[in-house]
Amino acid sequence: EPEVTQTPSHQVTQMGQEVILRCVPISNHLYFYWYRQILGQKVEFLVSFYNNEISEKSEIFDDQFSVERPDGSNFTLKIRSTKLEDSAMYFCASSAGSSVSYEQYFGPGTRLTVT
Amino acid sequence: DQQVKQNSPSLSVQEGRISILNCDYTNSMFDYFLWYKKYPAEGPTFLISISSIKDKNEDGRFTVFLNKSAKHLSLHIVPSQPGDSAVYFCAAARAGRRALTFGSGTRLQVQP
């Protein structure tokens, strides 16, 4: 069964450093997403990406964040200058792009720890 | 942000009985609802969804009911199995948008 994969599973970085989180969405999906879950809090939407551009973003997704689909399979989230409060689980998701169903399929997550 | 609320942080049921997980929402712009199951150290796994034009959707042991007037949905699992023990999240999407708004989750424990 196709699945979303994410690397690395755990990333430790120092405050102020740049990090890139990587995802391989399900191959025939058209929409790609990043969510995050800070420990003890809800899963929060960050950004969605369709047709090589951002289609929606939340207030959390400020200028420190960027997304890219550098090739036909990868989808990345870059945080330019990490802060302590960026420590969270980051989930990538993808969906087929149907106009009648919005099911999103999630990867296992990357745990980002900013020290 | 309490647009999607799951007021029961935990639920314990006996194997073979029905599990009922509840979710309330406040934003009348939501028109698509989903349930996800999550095990520790894994991402959310899609279970079942429902569009606002329906009031019920069934898939095997899982049924989701939607009461639009009450802004309430529920997930029924019957019969419950020990493998169903996990955290269940309700999520909602606004018409024409794909960003999901999640509830805080309900931890279900199914006792053998």
The pLDDT, as a whole number, for residue B76 is: 98
Q: Which of chain A's residues have a Cβ under 8 Å away from the Cβ of B9?
A: none
Which of these, A6, A28, A47, A45, lies nearest to B1 by C-alpha position?
A45
Task: Count Cβ–Cβ pairs < 8 Å, chain A vs chain B.
Answer: 60
Q: How many helices (H) and strands (E) are present in chain A, helices listed first?
A: 0, 11
Give CA–CA dist B77/B103, Å, rounded.
18
The pLDDT, as a whole number, for residue B1 is: 58
Which one is predicted more confidently, A100 or A36?
A: A36
Q: Which residue of A lies nearest to B43 if distances are taken between CA atoms?
A: A108
Which one is predicted more confidently, A110 or A73?
A: A110
Share of chain B above pLDDT 70, in %: 99
Q: Is the Cβ pair A42, B93 closer than 8 Å?
A: no
Cα–chain center distance at B39: 15
Say whether residue B103 is in contact with chain A using an 8 A CB cutoff: yes
What Rg, from alpha-carbon coordinates, does chain B have? Answer: 13
Q: Is the Cβ pair A108, B41 closer than 8 Å?
A: yes
Each residue of A99-109: pLDDT tens digit? 667 899 999 99
Q: Which of chain B's residues have a Cβ under 8 Å away from the Cβ of A33?
A: 98-99
The pLDDT, as a whole number, for residue B88 is: 98
| Mean pLDDT, chain A, integer | 94
What SS3 class is residue A89? strand
Taking the CA of residue A44 and the nearest CA in chain B, the distance in Å comes to 7
Which of these, A29, A77, A109, A75, lies nearest to B45 by C-alpha position?
A109
Give CA–CA dist B59/B73, Å, rounded.
16
Each residue of B7-62: pLDDT tens digit? 999 999 999 999 999 999 999 999 999 999 999 889 999 999 999 999 999 999 99
Say whether residue B41 is in contact with chain A using an 8 A CB cutoff: yes
Is the Cα torsion angle B47, B52, B57, B63 positive or negative in sign?
A: positive
Strand partners, B37: B45, B88
Each residue of A46-72: pLDDT tens digit? 999 999 999 999 999 999 999 999 887
The pLDDT, as a whole number, for residue B21 is: 98
- Cβ-proximal residues to B28 (8 Å cutoff; 6+ apart), any chain: B71
Which residue is it, tokens 């945080």? A79
Compare CB distances from A56 to B1, B46, B98 and report the shortest one's residue.
B98
The pLDDT, as a whole number, for residue A108 is: 96
Q: Is the Cβ pair B102, A42 closer than 8 Å?
A: yes
